[in-house]
Amino acid sequence: MNVMRLLEERLARYEHLSEQISSLYYVDEQSIMILEELQEQQLEMWQEIMGLRERVQEPFSPLVVKTINHCIELERISIQKMQEFQGKLSVEMKQMQNTHLTRRYYQDAYTQTEGYFFDKQR
């Protein structure tokens, strides 16, 4: 099999992995684990692509250029989704910290110190 055909196949696999990543919804720990697994596979595929790219003597075919452009667009979408998720997590973390501080503030206010009480009525 020639090098250009191998490169096209690896790019198609990379594109498929990119599509899976861009379609993920970051809502729970399982989706984050899936993301990590897909990114590991994507990294391995990228390393293979870079190795093949060095061996290609001819210009890239239109299919290769189209696939690369599509992968770049999918990466942009994934980055945007991750940034949105990061923003949501930051807001939730601030709310949790504020709740903790408020609770601690009121708990400290209601502590009772030792002392004596004098009843002036008696």
Model confidence at 31, in pLDDT bands (50, 70, 90)?
Answer: confident
- Report if residue 112 sits inside a domain: no
pTM over 0.85: no
CB < 8 Å & 24+ apart, contacts of 105-110: none
pLDDT in tens, 47-68: 999 999 888 888 888 999 999 9
Q: What is the pLDDT of residue 3?
A: 87
pLDDT in tens, 2-15: 888 999 999 999 99
Boundaries of domain holding 90: 3-105
Tally of domains in the chain: 1
- Report if residue 110 sits inside a domain: no
How far, in Å, CA of 93 to CA of 82, rounded? 16
Residues 6+ apart with CB under 8 A from 59: none
Residue position matching structure tokens 């008696």: 122
- Report if residue 79 sits inside a domain: yes
